[in-house]
Amino acid sequence: MRDRIVKRFLKYVSFHTTSEFGKENIPSTTRQFDMAKYLVEELKGLGLEDVSLDENGYVMATLPSNTEREVPTIGFVAHMDTSPDFSGENVNPQFHENYAGQPILLNKDEKIVLDPEEFPEMLLYKGQTLITTDGTTLLGADDKAGVTEIVSAMEYMLEHPEIEHGKIRVCITPDEEVGRGADKFDVDKFGAEWAYTIDGGRVGELEYESFNAAYAKLSFAGKMVHPGEAKNKMRNSMLVASSFIKALPADEIPERTDERQGFFHLTSMEGGVEKTTLEYIVRDHDRNIFNERKEFLEKTVKRFNEQYGEGTVELRMFDQYYNMGEKIKPVFHVVETVEEVMKDMGITPIVKPIRGGTDGSRLSFMGLPCPNIFAGGHNFHGRYEYVAVESMELATDLICKVAVKTMDKFGK
């Protein structure tokens, strides 16, 4: 399967599928349909059944059961879009066989280097084949590695009917990177009792807890007066916005937090004297602390309006998703099954909360418990992204073995 996995991955990353924030339609970019349509034909060609593509860009398919036993229907989910944080167009993957632990020159002209001193996880892959970018785009392993692994696993099981398994459902979603991958996901149509997103990082990652997440947009109103006559008259909205940023906890930002620590993350800042807008994402694993973070924003807005005048600051805030652990812990066997498979494969499970979210975060609250499994990539959303071919092979094998383990444990 190795050559097929590599060929499939290279084909997928050739599609420009970057999603966009702030769009009403799903998918947010019509170019995602290019890959979706290709997937439909590929899945049909492999022999999967019930292959469909809906008007929102969701691709679904079925690998039929080949056992007489009654087995719960499980699903595997990945997303086809890539992050708008960095260019995903004209991806030019680079291969580094038998990696020896040295810095990798990605781009000679721009002197872009992928260095294990900065990214020590690279040393986990000595002797393996790394696929990197050429330094000018992201790679797209998030989550086209996951798509590759799911499709490759389905292909393998179709070609090996001696591997008994129950019914398996597959879904490739759009717009996960802009937080809307589950917005139009038809859980009833999918018809699985539980599922797994293949959207994690290094080999062994298994995640059933995610952040609670909210989006906040703050608008600051200023007053423009000729600077020569501005004393006691002008109100520069950019300076008010800057003061607001400083009013938030300085250490509670992504670059100063890890593990279960939450944060306020400023993602966008745009403005002039008359108007400035700030966009934040608010994150915390603990629901109570998450609510306290939102209340802190609201109280800070109130305080600024009291100081600068009513209407100076307006806040629009809404929740995006919640910690999926709330829904997965009551059916924890879905996690234990994967842990058992990993141990059987000689993989040490790395069970930790996601410092982010996946489609599974939303799907778990929509009635489809959905932990997250490694896809193998590192340094997502930027020019330093990479994935080992061997990691994609392991993920493909794990998907097959999870299907078998599910039949062994729960088949009747």
Cβ neighbours for 191, distance < 8 A, ≥ 6 positions apart: 73, 169
Strand-pair partners of 200:
374
Residue 27: asked if its preceding bond is cis (omega within 30°), the reply is: yes
Residues, the chain = 412
Q: Using CB atoms within 10 A of its CB, is residue 346 exposed (0-12), middle (13-18) or buried (19+)? A: exposed
Residues involved in catalysis: 81, 176
Side chain identity at 107, as an amino acid letter?
N
Kindly provide the residue ranges of all beta strands, DSSP E only, lying in 272-349, ordered along the sequence. 275-284, 313-321
What 3-state class would DSSP assign to 24?
A: coil
Q: Provide the 8-state DSSP code for 195.
A: E
CA-closest candidate to residue 407, choices 209, 206, 193, 147: 193
What gap in Å lies between CA 299 and CA 341, rounded to an integer?
48
For the chain, the C-alpha Rg in angstroms (whole number) is: 23
Q: Residue 86: how many CB atoms within 10 A of its CB? A: 18
Angle at the Cα of 17 from the Cα atoms of 11 and 21, rounded to 5 degrees: 160
Q: Beta strand pairing status for 205-207 and 350-351?
A: parallel
| Residues 332/187, Cβ–Cβ less than 8 Å | no
What gap in Å lies between CA 81 and CA 83, rounded to an integer?
7
What gap in Å lies between CA 132 and CA 115, rounded to an integer?
12
Q: Beta strand pairing status for 194-200 and 372-374?
A: parallel
